[in-house]
Amino acid sequence: KNQVEQSPQSLIILEGKNCTLQCNYTVSPFSNLRWYKQDTGRGPVSLTIMTFSENTKSNGRYTATLDADTKQSSLHITASQLSDSASYICVVRVRGGYNKLIFGAGTRLAVHP
Partner 1 sequence: EAQVTQNPRYLITVTGKKLTVTCSQNMNHEYMSWYRQDPGLGLRQIYYSMNVEVTDKGDVPEGYKVSRKEKRNFPLILESPSPNQTSLYFCASRHGTGTNEQFFGPGTRLTVL
Contact footprint for partner 1 (CB under 8 A): 9, 31-32, 34, 41-46, 49, 89, 91, 93, 98-99, 101, 103-106
User: d(Cα 108, Cα 39) in Å, to the nearest integer?
Assistant: 10
- For residues 73 and 68, what is the distance between their CA atoms, to the nearest angstrom? 8
What is the closest distance, in whole angstroms, from the C-beta atom of residue 17 to partner 1 in the complex?
26
Q: Which is nearer to partner 1, 16 or 100 (CB)?
A: 100
Q: Are 111 and 81 in contact (CB under 8 A)?
A: yes
> From the CB of 111, what's the least distance to partner 1, in Å?
20
- Please, what is the minimum distance in Å from the beta carbon of residue 42 to partner 1? 6
Choose between 43 and 60: whose C-beta lies nearer to partner 1: 43
CA distances from 99 to 33, 37, 45 (A): 12, 21, 19
97, amino acid identity: G
